Structure 1
Amino acid sequence: MSEQRQQPVAVPGNRSGTRLPHHTVAGVGAGPANLSLAALGEREVPGGVRLYERRSSAAWHPGQLSEGTRLQTSWLKDLVTLVDPTNRLSFLNYLVAGGRMYSFINAQYEEIPRLEFARYLAWAAGELGTVRYGSPVERIGHIGTGAAGRFVLHGPDGPVATADHVVLGLGTRPRVPACFEGLDAGGLVLAERLHARLRGAAVLPYQPAVVVGGGQTGAESVLELIRHGFRDIRWIGRRNWFAPMDDSPSANDFFRPTYLRFFHGLPAEVRQRYVAEQQLTSDGISLSTIQQIYQLNYEMYLREGRYPVMLLPGRDVVRACERDGQLVLWCERDWGGRERHAAPLVVLATGREAADLPLAPELLALTELDEAGQPVLEADYSVRWKYAEHNRLYVQNRSRTGHGIADPNLSLLAVRAATILNSALEREVYVIRDEHVSTAWL
């Protein structure tokens, strides 16, 4: 369990009068990013890494674990293996501990089920025993100066803990386009809630449904609708084609530590351009998923004489309203003009955005911000702020233009966590090795 030293100074707002637990390193959020930090820090951080999680139990994208969904990242890129393959919380040890190693091998997965990875994360959290579920952190403040300084984590009812260093791993939330904001319509469903919405629901096969979003989540939503019997699905995407993810060897060079170091040293305008150019190495559709949609579409055509899915690329939804029990959408087309679609069910698979940072105003006032009003992050993912010499605040999963296209996804989980631990503990706890690179960026 995480070390809980007695708090020697008064903490404003601590009405209970009890001494608060103090941690060397505390994490807010218990998703993959901070679980990787806790797994790698288990033996290295005094008392371990305590994680505060708002959910009541372990969960990872619970609404997107339907049948057939696959992880887009190799299972070798788990919480620990890239920097510490002997760690007890590796994916391989999870399989062995559960007695499923041979069944997993014989299933011959190229891409593992997302459900399997979610169960692995829950297993690792249970093994750690340092995740405090049902403990939302709504505000992070700071008290003291110099070596006596510390962060204060505030829950709904006041302070819950203090820490020398804090790591924010807050994840993301669904992005809702402006034309859908404030639209209170029963037929409008976020992709992550589609599975729950369809469970046990009666389906009229030729009642139209619309999926908005041309990425992996949109593709999975289309498959979910097909599996539940929908036969009139209109799939709208802004790109001029439904683009597969680039999983080539050269594309995967962007997901290694050597490239990360090179990228971070580039001028800001070059980094922004590179991230835009590399978008499909991270945000495209898995080839197997798009193939499955095309094959199901073709086979349904053979049986019924019509395609169940109509693909509508090059369209941007600019207006939406509810009319006569239907959701009506107006799309602008790349080549000019508008078109209208109406359906009782519209699924939003329009990407995700970073959650708000719970920084107290007085802490934010001491923080250097970029042009977008976001904290400036150093190469070690620490926030550039006044008292960073003694108390470091780290932010995970929200520095794509600072740390490259790999930053928000699972590919460099362990590398990022190891970098943060090396920084927080001020020693090379983990050696991050990436040698024998055949691509010369410099």
Structure 2
Amino acid sequence: MLYIQKKKNKMFVYVCGILILSLLTSCGLLDKSVDKKEPEMSMELTVLTPQSEESFYQIYGNHIMSKFPNITFKVVSSNNDSLYDSDSFFEQSHPDLVISYLPTFRDLRDQELIENLSPFVQDSNNLELDKYYNQMEKVLSNESGDLLGLAPQVVVSGIFYNKNLFDSLQIDYPTDQMDWNQILSLSSRFAKSGWFGLEGGEATPQHIIMAILSTNKVKLVDDQKKELLFNKKDWLTMIELVMNLMKQESLVEGTGEQFLEGRAAMLSSNISIIPELQKKNDFSWGVTSYPADSFNPNLNSGLQFNHVFAINKESSNKQDVWNVIAYLMSEDSVEPLQSQDLIGSISTLNSRLGNYGGIEINQLINKTIDTRRGYYDDLSQEFQDEFGEMLKSVLNSGVINAKSTEQVYQEIVSQAINIYAKEKLKSE
């Protein structure tokens, strides 16, 4: 009897063990997937973001806390990443979660200030990179192939055009991989037609030049000599093109007001304009890719990972930050984030790419994102703002006073040197 009782006890322990193991597994307590484990106690994560605190909570914070009610945030704004001009800003902020624009992300990556996410992805049962936009991993990895950031959304921009206006003047529609010179030449053909040729945030004299510099990745600073670079031939061509457009009055700054009313032939915009066009439905329209660099037409500047998410290498809460990032990358976050979209963003999940508001946009998505460093990577926001205002003033003066392109060029160079002198003093 004693032997039989011992066997029964052993069997009871064994069965109980199996039941407990099964219970733990079904509850997820033994699950190795890092993104399923939620924090068990209240904790505060410091988030460093280019947004204001209000904007962070509206777009991300409230949504995150609905999933992780035990998490609270201390929000530190980088003021559109302008505060990174101070070398000590990142260190003094002590962030756990880092949200940044792509240029800032690249700097943080190159300085090895952010955590390698590849091990987290490998341990995850829910996040598989091959289910996401293939450009994301390429853009957000370092040269060794380590993934340093993730982006839940990609911003998509293009050139929208009014087919009716083009047809009325028998002008061919804009096509894929056109450069800025070609788009602006099309715009000039609407001079004296009663319609604007091009509307957009870039459609001002200074912004057209800065858009060309940005798209063509023109360097403004000699890294060795620490002085400004001006290719005179290229600058004379830009100046002449822009001054002619100013005289023709074929450009109009705006976010679609003229285009929606049928008074502009083209609109440079992100895809958030599509629902407005669908509601309006007054004319036939099309969209093609954002202007390309003529020497690198396969690269596209109209695709941007606006907010890149990363983990501070010095954070003591890496696991919990990863849980937050993984949740934002999940299918459960697609609609909540999309509902807050104002800048033409779509989810980076492959299942959601290629369509926006029922309109196919594969022709805009199937591009190679241009990640080359631009002029703005070497210069502070303060310099860029002052440089832009100087261009506006000199170009307007050139048109009003009928100056030659050579005169305008010399004035731009002279004033830019003075602005850069202040930039160098600030960094010394």
Higher helix share: 2
Tell me which structure has the larger Cα radius of gyration.
Answer: 2
TM-score normalised by length of structure 2: 0.26
| TM, length-normalised to structure 1 | 0.25
